[in-house]
Structure 1
Amino acid sequence: MKIVVNSTDRLILRSRPLLLAAIIGGGIAIFAAVVIANAIAGNSAEAERAALPMGMLLIAFVVFVRETVATFDRTAGEVVIARRSVFGRSGIRLELSDIRQAKLEADPGKERTKSGHPLQRAVLVLIDGKVVPLTGTYSADTGTTQAVTAMKAWLQPRKPKRG
């Protein structure tokens, strides 16, 4: 996650998996070219074999490539987590007063990546104990740690300035 705005009244975080979209999209394009070339050449068996991994990459694109924007607004007293994917937009609204803390959640299935970085995601813990993830996937991105640090600092009660 990337910190877009960090002021006393607003904190905006954004997650855009552009590299993942480029990698999966490139794979789709390559397999699509193979399918089209084989179909034009009349080799339908080879075209069908290339269509299967292309379909799997399409499913991966739909599942994993999602943009998330989390807007913390002190003036409105709310947090809006908006998600955008191939199928459209969705989101949730939380009252700022309902948030107990922000923290990193580790992937329960895997402790570390090959690079040694842990897989984790940013989550908000509500007063009732419910955990609301900001993104659906775990990542080894160091920006997630920075985002959680910014959320923790931003969620701290503000002390009035003395005049």
Structure 2
Amino acid sequence: MKVTTDTPDLLVVDDKPLFLGIMLIVFILVFVAAGLMIVMSGEPLGILFGLFGGGMGLAAFAVFVRRVQVVFHGPEGYVELRRRNLFGGSRMRHDLNEIARAEIEESRSNEGGATWRVVLVIEEGQSVGRHPITLAYSNGRGHHRAAEAINRWLDAARGHARREA
């Protein structure tokens, strides 16, 4: 998760799982290539090997590789959450004033390792609740930096709005 734009009027936070996407593409290519090699050696069941392995990799790619972008637009007063995967995309828009803050949710594995995701907290209105930016938890400091940037930007935007009123 990375802050790609941070101006007084606009904050854009992106999550592009490049490493996961590249690894799944390599997985697909390895299985398809192995299947072709098996077919070329005279074993027709290599087709099933390539199709099954490549298909599993493609299914994992479709499910897990999802680009997420959150746009905080001060002048127009909205927050837009954009998600995109192989099958298309979706957009969800909230009024900027509805967003109370960003928080970090933590998940721990049985081995004690922690992973995180950023959620937007809405305390009143139609969309009350915790709205995760990414559906999956992951490790790294990007989530903490993104939550801090969102909260800092929201505080500055609210201060600017109060000064104008």
TM-score by length of 2: 0.86
Task: Give the direction of change, closer, same or farther, for the CA distance of 1:34–1:111 in structure 2 (3 Å limit).
Answer: closer
Which segment drifts farther, 28-37 or 18-27?
Answer: 28-37
Conserved? CA contact 1:110–1:119, under 8 Å:
no
Give the equivalent residue in structure 2 for 1:36. Answer: 36
Show the counterpart of 2:65.
65
The 2-side partners of 1:13 and 1:111 are apart by: 30
Cα deviation for residue 108 of structure 1 reads 5.9
Give a deviation string over 1:89-130, Cα, whole Å, max 9, x none.
2111011111111100112656843xxxx2000110112441
Letter in 2 for 1:143: G
Mapping of residues 93-112 of structure 1, within 5 Å: 93-107=93-107, 112=112
1:121 alignment partner in structure 2 = 117
CA–CA separation in structure 2 for the residues paired with 1:111 and 1:92: 35
> What is aligned with 2:137?
138
Task: Count residues with an aligned counterpart.
Answer: 157
- 2:85 maps to 1:89: no
Residues 10-47 of structure 1: CA deviation (Å, up to 9, x unaligned): 10011111111111110101101112222344412344
**TM-score (normalised: structure 1):** 0.87
Q: 1:136 to 1:127 in 2, by over 3 A?
A: same
List gaps (5 residues or longer) in structure 2: none
| Amino-acid identity (%) | 30
Alpha-carbon distance change, 137 to 28 in structure 1, aligned in 2, over 3 angstroms: same
1:70, distance to aligned residue in structure 2 (A): 0.6
Q: 1:150 maps to which residue? A: 149
Aligned AA (1:91): R
1-structure distance, mates of 2:118, 2:72: 14
